[in-house]
Amino acid sequence: GAVVSQHPSRVICKSGTSVKIECRSLDFQATTMFWYRQFPKQSLMLMATSNEGSKATYEQGVEKDKFLINHASLTLSTLTVTSAHPEDSSFYICSARDDGGGQETQYFGPGTRLLVL
Amino acid sequence: SQKIEQNSEALNIQEGKTATLTCNYTNYSPAYLQWYRQDPGRGPVFLLLIRENEKEKRKERLKVTFDTTLKQSLFHITASQPADSATYLCAPTLDNQGGKLIFGQGTELSVKP
Q: pLDDT 10s digit of each residue in chain A, 117 long? A: 689 999 999 999 999 999 999 999 999 999 999 999 999 888 899 999 999 988 999 999 999 999 999 998 999 999 999 999 999 999 999 999 888 876 677 899 999 999 999
Tell me if B11 sits within 8 A of B111, measured CB to CB.
no
Tell me if B72 sits within 8 A of B24, measured CB to CB.
yes
pLDDT recorded at residue A103: 63
Look at the alpha carbons of B24, B30, B35, B40 in this order and tell me if their dihedral is positive or negative.
negative
Question: CA nearest A102: which of B32, B53, B71, B10?
Answer: B32
pLDDT recorded at residue B1: 79
Q: How far is A111 from chain B (nearest CA, A)?
A: 6
Which residues of chain A are within 8 Å of residue B49 when distances are taken between CB atoms? 104
Which residues of chain A are within 8 Å of residue B95 when distances are taken between CB atoms? 103
Per-residue pLDDT of B13-66, as tens digits, reads 999 999 999 999 998 888 889 999 999 999 999 999 999 999 899 999 999 999
CA gyration radius for chain A?
Answer: 13
**What is residue A37's DSSP assignment?**
E
Q: How far is A99 from chain B (nearest CA, A)?
A: 11
**Helix, coil or strand: residue B97:** helix
pLDDT recorded at residue B27: 87
**Helix, coil or strand: residue B19:** strand
**Beta partners for A50?**
A33
Per-residue pLDDT of B66-92, as tens digits, reads 999 999 999 999 999 999 999 999 998
